[in-house]
Chain A
Amino acid sequence: MKGDTRRAGPRPGSTGTLFRLRQGDSVMIRSALAGLVLLSSAPALAASRPRYGGELRVAHAGPPEIGEPALADTPMEAALLGLLTRPVCRVDANGQVHATLARELTRPVPQALRVAMPSAASATALARAWTRLSSTESPSPYRALLYPLRGEGRQVTATGATLDLALAFPWPDLERSLCHPALATPPSPASGPFSAAGRGVLEAQSAWPEGRPYLDRLALTATDERGLTRLWAARQVQVELGTPPDNDTLTGAALYATYLAFSPRKVPADFRQAVESAIDREDLTRLFVKGPAVPMANLLPPALMPQAPKARPGTPPAGATRKVTLAYDAALADQRAVAERIQVKLHDQGYTVALEPQSRAALRSRQAKGDFELMLNAFLLPPIPGPALAVVLEAGGRRDLLGVELPPIGALTDAGARDARSRERALALAPSVPLIPLYAQGLALRAAPEVTGLMLDAQGLPVLEGAWLAPVEATGGGGRP
């Protein structure tokens, strides 16, 4: 259709609200991210509306137990934990923001965001979770997402069921920053679209503020890659999370970025050059990293900025043999493989690398204190360059740059201009941030034909509460082995 029909736009003269986002309301924003909508191609007799009810059998290659949101930041863990607890909003594949846990996000004035929660208890829990990101006992790089708030988000308080967030400087991307999974509250009975109802069973949360999930329940099975293959071949599951990518899988944006962090005071000045000359990111990603992964040469992953080919520098002059310790996440098998590869490659450069597996909590704590020589650091970056740059600077120990870099970005009213500036600054700041980008990963999943309406959000995570089961007679059996 083309032409000039009338559009019922915003009511002229309505309140001074500049921005309003409520349950199901959406605010059009741009997004450079590719999203994928899984919709059954077969016609379904459903009278044009999604059907309610049914149990969805889901297998995953993630851990059976998941910790707190700020630490459960691999795509798999974030996807699983997201079933039980959600941040205040989500960004869909088209870049639209949808309130989820919150009932409403409004800007009464441009420099303040009001988050209306379903209850005073949930508002208090949210304030506590956000304040905890900045606490000394468990500092998190994701606290950078709250940096634009007055007081850098260290003290967030709820008034009844409302959180009034005052900005220290203009930051139009605040809403999308708050949609990051790490900003969710610890799981509680009403914090997610589903709630635990026994071993491996999650029941739909009928009072979920965004709307009741279409499915009645999820039956989760934790397994490994071989188990996924077996369960899928036997048609015992309808959705697989963490399956190896192939032509039939759907892959979320690769935003789980892994860096080799180094302490400039504890390694030689030419350490970055030594690593860059020794490591081939393409080989490293292809041979040692599981799942959908892409090499990452810049501070921001390819999903957020184009990766121009970079010439590898020459090998620095040989010096005395150095002993260094490389800490990595003991829970991630591919980090172990990558750490071993780095160990081998740096040996050729005169480094004797001792490997030190650590829990993620210990890694984060040591990273915040600067208590390491080398460390593999991985973070789930938000799907917008500006907030992603903030997390990377924080993770790289350059919190001092946040106050310098973020205000000029936030001052740009045009979203595309903010993204462009964030990318420019990421390039310019790369040499001064002690992080060597390595690769970025996403989450791959596979769904049976009867699973309809399953979407991946801009973060690359599945929105299972939006999926429903099409009637069997309408789906056929295509797409299954």
Chain B
Amino acid sequence: MSRSLLPLVLALAFALPAHAESDEGAPPASARLALAVADAIRGAPAEAPVALCLSGGSAELRRAFGTLLAARLSAMNLGPVVLDVPPERAEAAAREQGARSLARLTLDVEGGELVARGDVLGTWVNFWSGRTPTRPPKPAAAVAEGVEADAAVLALAAVGTPSSGTPGPGPQQRRPLRLLGAVFARLETPLGALAAGDLDGDGRDEVAALTEHEVVVFGADGRVLARRELEGAPAVATTREAFGALAVLTGPPRLAAWSTRYARGEVLVLDKAKGTLRPSGTLDAAPLGTAERGAFVPGQTVFAPEVRLADGRTLTVPAPFGTASFASPRMLFVHADGTASLYTRPASAPAKVSGLGAGSALGDLDGDGVPELLTTSPQLQPTPDALRVFSLTSDAPLAHEPLWQGALPPGRALYVVTADLDGDKRREVLVGSWKPDGTSELFLLRQGAP
């Protein structure tokens, strides 16, 4: 199998079948958009045969959408023909193929939506025009349709993105960043912590979400793999907001979860076949990372400054922190005032960074072997909130232009993690937000074709 086709196969294997099995039975975003666009073309009103010319997005997304749209138009007896030519040649190509109508559409994934914009025009040339390619009065219509994107769309849009170089030590080639986003999953209660890691040993990460009283594990397509209500004695001093610590432990893979509603945390094992999370122990320290441990400040949404590192040593961070992220050997601790302590090595003095949001993480998105700093808006009520990705190659990362930034859906984005959901060695970004209606949303940002 050719190397370039591998990501597409992976994307389809891990995204599309999952949707087909979805409990909710909702069609994928591309199918919904195809339906909406087909209706718009029919309403133009287009005359069969209809030629389709698609641009924008990745080639795989264009092909997949073209197939679905052609199927819809065919069902409407509009005789579709998909053209594989650039838009500027589409009109001539449509006439050459004998099409009576032409739909020229540009696909894009923006703001969590899959959108198609373009026009529908007639290709029939009046006999009296001679060789001049005049247009008929109809069909003539503008098309602008959009649907909420999903993980499958992001997977298709991501195909074609340059992959990182050969894994291993030493500097690697940096690839440009372009993140495309879609809603991954929703929770009915506020999110308290978010984590990602390979919980079933299949080489792909799962996403775990902690609410006040529950842990939910999602698969790569956003479907719930397992969920478990937390148990145990209530905490003596709890927080008004949902808050906690959640981490994926290694060897064997387990999930460590501790909500501030409870006096102790729990260690859980995912049984994917049974769709359960089985308790396998309790926690007396808050799981900040795979092996890093901390303690809650009672009643507050921050952790105490003392952190026990993976090697057993204790690190004292300059101030209590609400967010911690570890990308060995770097460590990031975000404080309540929007500053952060960034350690390049555990033994080094921390660099003070300002202007970070509560949703912050370290993760190598561009594949150069050095993690980037991902952070949300530092404002209390940003409208909209935004995710920014900064390079950590300089001493003052936020003093430089971000490598990428983009708006997030409405809500307070408080949690950010990176994950390799499909095992392609490229990390996706998950942002956890509180919505104004008291629910939560996980928003997936996947690297898309430039």
Contacts and interface: CB of A to CB of B under 8 A. Distances in A.
Interface of A: 1-11, 14, 22-26, 39-40, 43-52, 94, 96, 103, 118, 206-207, 209-214, 452, 465-466, 470-471, 474
A211 B241 contact: yes
A329 B338 CA distance: 52
B356 A47 contact: yes
B212 A7 contact: no
A207 B236 CA distance: 6
A8 B302 CA distance: 27
A5 B229 contact: no
A29 to B, nearest CB: 12
B287 interface: no
A5 B183 contact: yes
B237 interface: yes
Given A43-B381, A48-B359, A3 B185 contact: no
A471 B414 CA distance: 19
B188 interface: yes
A49 B337 CA distance: 9
B356 to A, nearest CB: 7
B358 A471 contact: no
B298 interface: yes
B76 interface: no
Contacts of B241: 24, 49-50, 211
Contacts of A47: 322, 334-338, 356-358, 378
Contacts of A43: 379-382
23 contacts: A1-B148, A2-B148, A3-B147, A5-B183, A6-B22, A6-B23, A6-B185, A8-B186, A25-B189, A26-B189, A43-B382, A44-B381, A45-B379, A46-B338, A46-B380, A48-B377, A48-B379, A48-B380, A49-B322, A50-B240, A50-B301, A214-B240, A470-B380
Interface of B: 22-24, 26-27, 29, 32, 112-113, 147-148, 150, 183-190, 209, 212-213, 216, 218, 222-224, 227, 229, 234, 236-242, 261, 298-302, 322, 334-338, 356-359, 376-382, 385, 409, 412-414, 438
A49 B336 contact: yes
A12 B62 CA distance: 38
Contacts of A210: 238, 240
Contact of B337 (A14, A45, A96, A466): A45
B6 to A, nearest CB: 27
A6 B186 contact: yes
Contact of B240 (A26, A48, A465): A465
Contact of B378 (A14, A48, A103, A209): A48
A210 B189 CA distance: 15
Given A7-B185, A45-B338, A207-B237, 19 more contacts: A1-B113, A3-B32, A5-B186, A6-B185, A6-B186, A7-B188, A24-B212, A43-B379, A44-B381, A46-B338, A47-B358, A48-B359, A49-B241, A49-B322, A50-B240, A52-B301, A52-B302, A118-B234, A212-B298
A8 B237 contact: no
Nearest to A14: B229
Contacts of A10: 188
A212 B239 contact: yes
A94 B24 CA distance: 28
A23 B29 contact: no
A212 B297 CA distance: 11
A212 B379 contact: no
A398 to B, nearest CB: 38
A3 B227 contact: no
A324 B327 CA distance: 83
Contacts of B240: 24, 50, 210-214, 465-466
Contacts of A118: 234
A48 B188 contact: no
Nearest to B340: A47
A206 B187 contact: no
B24 A4 contact: yes
A10 B214 CA distance: 10
Nearest to B298: A206
Contacts of A52: 300-302, 336
Nearest to B334: A47
A10 B356 CA distance: 34
A74 B276 CA distance: 51
Contact of B227 (A8, A51, A471, A474): A8
A4 B213 contact: no
A43 B380 CA distance: 6
Contacts of A470: 380
A212 B299 contact: yes
Contacts of B209: 8
B380 A44 contact: yes
B438 A96 contact: yes
Contact of A23 (B188, B190, B212, B385): B212
B322 to A, nearest CB: 6
A69 to B, nearest CB: 23
A282 to B, nearest CB: 37
A211 B296 CA distance: 13
B336 A46 contact: yes
Given A23-B212, A43-B379, A47-B338, A212 B237 contact: yes
A24 B222 contact: no
A48 B241 CA distance: 12
B388 to A, nearest CB: 13
A212 B261 CA distance: 12
A7 B186 CA distance: 5
A375 B190 CA distance: 48
Closest 4 CB pairs of A and B: A3-B148, A212-B299, A211-B240, A4-B26
Contacts of B379: 43-46, 48
B212 A46 contact: no
Nearest to B148: A3
A4 to B, nearest CB: 3
A1 B112 contact: yes
Nearest to A3: B148
A474 B382 CA distance: 13
A103 B261 CA distance: 10
Contacts of B376: 48
Given A3-B148, A5-B186, A210-B240, A48 B414 contact: yes
Contacts of A49: 241, 301, 322, 336, 358, 414
A39 B381 CA distance: 9
B224 A8 contact: yes
A103 B233 CA distance: 11
B192 to A, nearest CB: 9
Nearest to A204: B299
B387 to A, nearest CB: 12
Contacts of B301: 49-50, 52
B188 to A, nearest CB: 6
Given A8-B186, A47-B358, A49-B322, A452 B380 contact: yes
Contacts of A14: 229
Contacts of B224: 6, 8
A470 B300 CA distance: 16
B337 A471 contact: yes
A8 B187 contact: yes
A26 B237 contact: no
Given A1-B409, A8-B224, A48-B412, A211 B337 contact: no
Contacts of B190: 24
Contact of A206 (B22, B32, B237): B237
Nearest to B226: A11
B148 A5 contact: yes
A327 B189 CA distance: 50
A295 B335 CA distance: 51
Contacts of A96: 438
A40 B236 CA distance: 31
Contacts of B238: 23, 209-212
Nearest to B379: A43
Nearest to B260: A211
Contacts of A22: 212-213, 261
Given A47-B357, A48-B377, A5 B412 contact: no
A8 to B, nearest CB: 5
